[in-house]
Structure 1
Amino acid sequence: MSEEHLVTSEEQTVSLVDVLQEDEELEEEASAVLAGSDPDHCSYPQGYVKRQALYACNTCTPKGGEAAGVCLACSYKCHEGHDLFELYTKRNFRCDCGNKKFADGRCKLFPDKDDVNNLNKYSHNFFGEYCTCRRPYPDPEDQVEDEMIQCVLCEDWLHGRHLGCEVPECVELQEMICESCMNRNTFLWCYASHLAVPAPAVESEVKETGAHLDGSDKVDDIAEPSCKRVRREEQEDPSCRLKQLQAMDAKRVQSGAVFWPSGWRSKLCRCNACQETLSEAGLSFLLDELDTVLAYENKGKSEEERKQSPDPLMSALDNLNRVQQLEIIHGYNDMKSELKDFLQRFAAEGKVVTSDDIREFFEQQQSRKRRQVDRRFDCA
């Protein structure tokens, strides 16, 4: 089957335009994840990197041994051809490549490393297992089409159907905390009642309490007697926003994963007591809005754009006058439209596009262009 014409198992035709569009989307996604990490130099000298692309080598550290992770550069230079598990990104991790967990050889890029990185955190992800079901990804035995979503806290990837809640729309712009992490840090349930995306089953119940589910900072505008509010403020620390939220008695079913809208971290209390609580739980990163995967991806995209050299076509257009620019742009748009129509005819007839067909298409384009030029000279 040629690359110009693909057919799925349901006999649905996929055009070359569709293939190119999908390829462009995959390339953009890869740039977002990888452009924020150095592909040439081991990240070990940087210490525990705030966030980076990571891999686990099933060839060097298989299941049954100690978990280990390697940076992007080491995955290229030291583990080429190995069986690697892609971990997407992890926070506060130092590259393990070549330390005592690796019996065969030292790191080619930075051989002088400590035996272990004591502050690294590991999970079943490092052995190619994900979610509460501990299945691989991709899973050849799973016939259910389901997206996987990463938890903000434990950074495990969970199937949407195993979250214990409905996955909201625009999930790519939201952060998720799995039920296990919520239950380990129970104070987050209070924040969830006020700041998180509403749980559909209990949305009306929460609204009756006067809680602001849109994440607004209007903590004082609660419909309750002023004398009652004064008594509560005398008992609670007025500088602690968490205690103010707890005093509202908002109701939310404490089960299932919780989704949080963009900007929710900025609404967490930053009083000394709450900062200490977050630090003891190892969650201080929640106060950093640049810790998010979305912020990392945007940084990667920006760096990739800066690295890219100017488009030679655009540079050439800059040197032409306005009339010449318009002629070229119109010609390009005409050819793109004709090529799309050309491919769709093959798709409609269920035919495969061959290299001879493509060659004939461009020959026809050149022939038509020559006729247009000849007519122009004849008119002159």
Structure 2
Amino acid sequence: MSEEQTVSLVDVLEEDEELEEEASAVLAGSDSDHCSYPQGYVKRQALYACSSCTPKGGEAAGVCLACSYKCHEGHDLFELYTKRNFRCDCGNRKFADLKCKLHSEKEEINGQNKYSQNFFGVYCTCARPYPDPDDQVEDEMIQCVVCEDWLHGRHLGCVVPDCVELQEMTCESCMNKTPFLWTYATHLSGAAVQVKDETEPNELNSNLPHKEQGEEAEPSCKRSREEAEPSCKLKELQAIGQQRVQSGAVFWPSGWRSKLCSCSTCKERLAAAGSSFLLDESDTVLAYENKGKSSDQRAPGRDPLMSALEQLNHVQQLEIIHGYNDMKTELKDFLQRFAEDGKVVTPDDIRLFFEQQSRKRQRDDAGGFFPT
């Protein structure tokens, strides 16, 4: 008799808790009761786009977590995961007759907001929805740390590392828009090739002008100013003489932002590229999620995550937890049948259950989005 691998109810409940923690990481960092508009351009928050209010062909707009619940109940919403430096658009000029129920005094437009194709429910260089009913290939979606679009792993033009969930990624398009990042990629992400410097050290010295006897030395005040200015890490890396193929997305190692140069020239370079946030390690999605997981601002006796989950039938939230409460009831009934028949629950049984749930959700609310 062959021994079947079994799954205990404890295993199921542990996976259930992991899903709750994943949802908490995204939602707990945002306020589910108050519109974020008064906070201005929030450093990072969970956002949604409403195709009922701003259909394709109209102006792109985004709403905060609280407005997705209070002002857009029953609407077709796209879950955008998180975006940086965004101010809630709900009820402004882009929404015609809809007024924000949580904060009525809003400017007509938020000029500093940045929008992308994501706000119309399409992603990647292939500009397709997720999940895509016409795409039969199982593939993970990975977010670019610069443009914040989500791309299929097979469309990145590089090999996706095994520990992708621990690494930030910059897509090829953004790398080419900020070409100085290729120098960092050469030294921080591998694939470097040594380039021989044809100029010998003594030749370099021979080309330098010789000081004539009696020539005044460089003023000490100028030297002190130069010594006070930190050296440019970028120039030092460029001087090493290594290069890599400049194509495909780049996956960065942990702590890579701390290795970027922060001299005045490089700060200006990053600002000109609209990428000053790269010097801020607290800007990362990981930092945001950790804040959500460890948040102690929860009211006693009330779980804001479960409160949010109860309303997710109107918000196309993270794919696995969409319809969370209904799924728990159906899972209980599913397992009860095995108990009544005295049968063990195998991994294939659990997998079949979740596949059925996934197909049901896709029928009920096509167009949902779950980042992996």
Which of the numbers 266, 274, 287 marks the counterpart of 1:282?
A: 274
Which of the numbers 47, 53, 57 marks the counterpart of 1:54?
A: 47
Which of the numbers 340, 343, 346 marks the counterpart of 1:346?
A: 343
SS in 2 for 1:246: helix
Measured after TM superposition, the shift of residue 24 of structure 1 is 1.8
Measured after TM superposition, the shift of residue 304 of structure 1 is 5.5
- Tell me which of the two structures has the higher relative contact order, counting C-alpha pairs closer than 8 angstroms and 6 or more residues apart: 2
Judge which range, 15-24 or 177-186, deviates more. 15-24
Measured after TM superposition, the shift of residue 22 of structure 1 is 3.1
* 1:131 aligns to 2:124 (yes or no): yes
Please give the per-residue CA displacement for 1:150-174, whole angstroms capped at 9, x wherever unaligned.
0000000000000000001211111
SS in 2 for 1:161: helix
Hey, what does 2:141 align to over in structure 1? 148
* 1:293 aligns to 2:290 (yes or no): no
Hey, what does 1:171 align to over in structure 2? 164
Measured after TM superposition, the shift of residue 45 of structure 1 is 0.3
Please give the per-residue CA displacement for 1:184-206, whole angstroms capped at 9, x wherever unaligned.
1111100100112x3xxxx3x53
**CA distance change for structure 1 residues 40 and 306 in 2, over 3 Å: closer, same or farther?**
closer
Work out the CA distance in 2 between the residues paired with 1:298 and 1:232: 55
Hey, what does 1:71 align to over in structure 2? 64
**CA distance change for structure 1 residues 269 and 76 in 2, over 3 Å: closer, same or farther?**
same
- Alignment: residue pair count: 293
SS in 2 for 1:85: strand
Work out the CA distance in 2 between the residues paired with 1:232 and 1:51: 52
Retained in 1: the 8 A contact 2:8–2:345?
Answer: no
Hey, what does 1:261 align to over in structure 2? 253
Counterparts of 1:316-327 in structure 2, within 5 Å, are none
Counterparts of 1:16-55 in structure 2, within 5 Å, are 16-55=9-48
Hey, what does 1:87 align to over in structure 2? 80
Measured after TM superposition, the shift of residue 140 of structure 1 is 2.2
SS in 2 for 1:247: helix
SS in 2 for 1:273: helix
Highest Rg: 1 or 2? 1
Work out the CA distance in 1 between the residues paired with 2:259 and 2:142: 23
Measured after TM superposition, the shift of residue 111 of structure 1 is 1.0
Retained in 2: the 8 A contact 1:61–1:102?
Answer: yes
Work out the CA distance in 1 between the residues paired with 2:177 and 2:140: 25
Q: What is the identity, as a one-letter code, of the residue corresponding to 1:188?
A: L
SS in 1 for 2:73: coil
Residue segments in structure 1 that go unaligned for 5+ positions in a row:
1-11, 211-223, 312-338, 353-380
* 1:187 aligns to 2:187 (yes or no): no
**CA distance change for structure 1 residues 49 and 232 in 2, over 3 Å: closer, same or farther?**
farther
Measured after TM superposition, the shift of residue 265 of structure 1 is 0.5
Q: What is the identity, as a one-letter code, of the residue corresponding to 2:178?
A: N
Q: TM-score, normalised by structure 2?
A: 0.71
Work out the CA distance in 2 between the residues paired with 1:174 and 1:59: 35
Which of the numbers 229, 232, 236 marks the counterpart of 1:240?
A: 232
**CA distance change for structure 1 residues 151 and 348 in 2, over 3 Å: closer, same or farther?**
closer
Residue segments in structure 2 that go unaligned for 5+ positions in a row:
210-225, 304-335, 350-372
**CA distance change for structure 1 residues 308 and 181 in 2, over 3 Å: closer, same or farther?**
farther
Work out the CA distance in 1 between the residues paired with 2:275 and 2:207: 28
SS in 1 for 2:74: coil
Work out the CA distance in 2 between the residues paired with 1:154 and 1:174: 16
Counterparts of 1:89-108 in structure 2, within 5 Å, are 89-108=82-101
Q: TM-score, normalised by structure 1?
A: 0.70
SS in 1 for 2:295: helix
SS in 1 for 2:84: strand
